[in-house]
Every structure is written in C-alpha cells, then in structure tokens.
Amino acid sequence: MGEMLIQLSPKQAKLKEELQEYFEGLITPDLQAELRDPEHFEGGGPEFKKAMRTMGADGWIGLSWKKELGGKNLSPMEQYIFVETVMRTGFPFPFLTTESVGPMIAEHGSDWAKEEVATKILKGELFFGIGYSEPNSGTDLASLQTKAIRNREGYLINGQKMWTSLANFSDYIWLAARTDFEAKNHKGISMFIVPTNDPGFSMTAINTLGDVRTNATFYDNIHVPESHLVGQPNEGWSLITSQLNLERLALVNHGPVEELYKNVLSLAQSTKINDNQYLIDLTWVQHNFAQVYSGIEALKLICWKQTWIMESGRLNMAEASVAKVYGSEFFIEAYRLLMEIMGELSLLKNDSELSILNAKLERMYRTASILTFGGGTNEVQRDIIAMAGLLMPRTR
C-alpha cells in the first residue's frame, strides 16, 4: 500500500478537463435560455433532447454501464467526476434514467427491453420517470400498494404513484408494483417498464416551491406483456436498493455548491458598496465565505472517501449515510450564508436587470429543501449511522 493520497490522479484530472471542455461546447445559448424556463428546468424541451442525442452519439451516456452492455464501465471515481462536472454546468442530465434504470434494464431486462429500451437510453433518445413513492408509501417504500396482477398475457397494473418527476416528458415509467400479496412487504415487489402512451396512464402536475414540476401518476388497468417485467417476479426490491448508495452520493455531490461559492465570491469581489469598499471587504461577509469554504472541504472529502470505498468494492453503510445527512443539511446552510452575503438582491428572480447570477442562487435555495427528506429521509439515515456506525440498539 502506498501513502494516503487525497487528490485526483492525473488521469482523473484529465477526464475532468475533457468533460468541462465538452460541456462548454454542448451548452449553447439556446439551450441555456430553454433551461431558464420553469417548464424546462428539469429538461424535456427540444434543445435538451437535441443535446441528449448529441451526448449519446458522442458516447457520453452509459458511463457506468458494463462494457458488454454497451457502456464504458467507468470506475466510481470517474463517475463521480462526471456527475460533478455535469452538475456544475446546471444541465439537468437525467442520471436516474441513464445511470440507474438503464444499466438495470440492460442487465436484467427481457430481450425486448434490452434491444428496444436499453439501446435507446444509450442513444439519448428515451427517458424514464421513476415510479416508487405512493400517497401512503414514502419513507416506508416497501409498503407500496400499486398492484400488478399476473394473467395469461402478462400483467394488469392498477394504482397511483406520487412525485413521479420527469413523467411529463418520459416515454416510460420505471414502476415498482406489488405482485405477491401474501409475502411480507419488500418480498412481494416487482419492477416494470410501463409506457406512458398507454390509454390507462394519466397524470396531474404537482407544482413545487422550487418551480420544479413533478407529477401524480395514475395507472388504470394498464396491461403490459411479460417482456416488460425486469428481473425475476417478486425480486424487485433488490433492484430498487442495488444502486441506492451511488444515487445518494450523486445527490450530495460537492460540485454545484462549490461552483455557486465561486460565483458568489467573484461577484462579491467585484461589487462596490461605496467609493472605497467592495462587498468582500466586510468582515461578516468574509466570515460567511469561510463557513461555506470549510463546509465544502468536508463535503468534498466525505464524497471522495465514499467513492473510494465503492471503488474498492466495499460498502460502508454508516459513511454513505453520513454523506447524505451532512451534504443535504450543509446545502441549506451554505445557500443561506451565500444569500446573506448578497442580501435582498438574492430575492430577485431573473426577470429583473438587478438580479444576480441570473437568479441562480434564488433558484438553488428553493430546490435545496427536498434533499433532506428525498433519497432516504435523514431520520432513517441517522438511525443507520447510530446502528451501523456506533453499534447502538435499533430505534423502536
């Protein structure tokens, strides 16, 4: 074993540079304009779809997929760098479709799913909404009630899902449904590919505080052939949980907050508050920046270490939960500290010439609150830390 090394390798640094250059070319002014439209924050517009196809053609989709499935089999560290670089640009890359659902379908799907679905995901031509949560099944996801009843031709699906983000422009829903009603909770769940153009599919928009649109989706007697089942019947839970750590880590990637820190720092350095002083000269402003800086350093190290743990094929449950809790709560604190620096100007949306950073700060703070409960609520994460990290008794 060599000396402990806490930095990117030359190869990793080069990948980061390559990605940065690539995205500079990809994100055109037209795409930027489209992404500022609340309707298209999360993608789905024509410019977004064009960019995704370009990325597919250039081989930038499916980086985490195994080589034999058409992917690049990048290591967890390289994937982290990819996520970091994409998120810094603000491009709403559909990670869940391409890096979670895609490889699962490519590996466990039917022949139809592999040929028709997985291939098109790699080309950037096809998108998924995730159908996990239900009105009465959130944190306790295994209690979900959407039914898929086996019949001679396949499965008949009935039920309702909540927070089905991206469903409004998705081709399919990656749907968790109950197939065994006798088995205990998580043992009776199966995964399906459900087409959104089925007449039994419908949705209503849920407009959120962050202006991000999500959906309630309804499944009324939707019939899918057996080829739409992914994996074995009643073994869907392991597919849901298999990439949870990687997904959680992507949620708390340090890239976006560091980018925002840099943006606000250079703004404060160039903002005059009187004839002799810049905003940056105020002591309390410096203190806020220092708080954010020392928090980002810890977040970066936590994420890198967690990625390194995955790289070596191990799993450390407590540390994965540390990343999720610390990151999500730090974001909220960091956005607050940065907004304080710009003061009331932080409140302006980008319809004003006075607004700062195209109102990026105003937009980001509003979307931060979902991360403390989304992706595995922090109460459950703290339970895991106490049990797995401190070997304390299970909470009742």
DSSP string covering 372-389: TTTTS-HHHHHHHIIIII
Residues between 320 and 349 that touch other proteins (CB under 8 A): 322, 325-326
Q: Which is nearer to other proteins, 228 or 254 (CB)?
A: 254
Question: Which one of residues 2, 10, 29, 199 is an interface residue with other proteins (CB under 8 A)?
Answer: 2
The pairing of strands 201-207 and 189-195 is: unpaired
The pairing of strands 189-195 and 147-150 is: unpaired
- Contact call for residue 259 and other proteins (CB under 8 A): no
Q: How many residues does the chain have?
A: 396
Which contacts of 311-317 are long-range, i.e. CB under 8 A and separated by 24 or more positions? 311/75, 311/76, 311/77, 315/245, 316/388, 317/384, 317/388, 317/389
Cβ 189 to other proteins, closest distance in Å?
Answer: 27
Q: Which is nearer to other proteins, 77 or 96 (CB)?
A: 77
- Contact call for residue 269 and other proteins (CB under 8 A): yes
Q: One symbol per residue from 135 to 174: x for binding other proteins (CB under 8 A), - otherwise; what is it?
A: ----------------------------------------
Q: Which is nearer to other proteins, 3 or 68 (CB)?
A: 3
Kindly list the catalytic residues: 247
Q: Which is nearer to other proteins, 5 or 209 (CB)?
A: 5
- Contact call for residue 393 and other proteins (CB under 8 A): yes
What are the phi and psi torsion angles at 51 (to 5°)? -65, -40
Cβ 320 to other proteins, closest distance in Å?
Answer: 11
Number of residues that bind other proteins (CB under 8 A): 55
Q: One symbol per residue from 277 to 306: x for binding other proteins (CB under 8 A), - otherwise; what is it?
A: -x-x--x-xxxxxxx-xx--xx--xx-xx-
Tell me how far apart the alpha carbons of residues 247 and 333 are, in angstroms, rounded to a whole number.
22
Q: Which is nearer to other proteins, 16 or 147 (CB)?
A: 16
- Contact call for residue 5 and other proteins (CB under 8 A): yes
Q: Which is nearer to other proteins, 304 or 373 (CB)?
A: 304
Question: Which one of residues 27, 162, 244, 318 is an interface residue with other proteins (CB under 8 A)?
Answer: 318
CA dihedral in degrees (112, 113, 114, 116; nearest 10)?
Answer: 70
Residues between 11 and 50 that touch other proteins (CB under 8 A): 12
* Cβ-contact 173, 196 below 8 angstroms: yes
Tell me how far apart the alpha carbons of residues 159 and 222 are, in angstroms, rounded to a whole number.
10
- Listed in sequence order, the residues at least 6 apart from 226 whose beta carbon sits closer than 8 Å to its beta carbon are 110, 153, 154, 155
Q: How far is CA 117 from CA 124, 128, 194, 276, in A?
A: 11, 10, 11, 61
Three-state SS at 291? helix
Residues between 76 and 135 that touch other proteins (CB under 8 A): 77
Q: One symbol per residue from 352 to 381: x for binding other proteins (CB under 8 A), - otherwise; what is it?
A: ---------------------------x--
- Contact call for residue 250 and other proteins (CB under 8 A): no
Q: How far is CA 7 from CA 12, 77, 308, in A?
A: 9, 11, 11
Which amino acid would we find at residue 162? M
Cβ 78 to other proteins, closest distance in Å?
Answer: 11
- Listed in sequence order, the residues at least 6 apart from 81 whose beta carbon sits closer than 8 Å to its beta carbon are 8, 12, 15, 16, 19
Which positions touch other proteins (CB under 8 A)? 1-9, 12, 77, 265, 268-269, 278, 280, 283, 285-291, 293-294, 297-298, 301-302, 304-305, 307-309, 311, 318-319, 322, 325-326, 379, 382-383, 385-387, 389-396
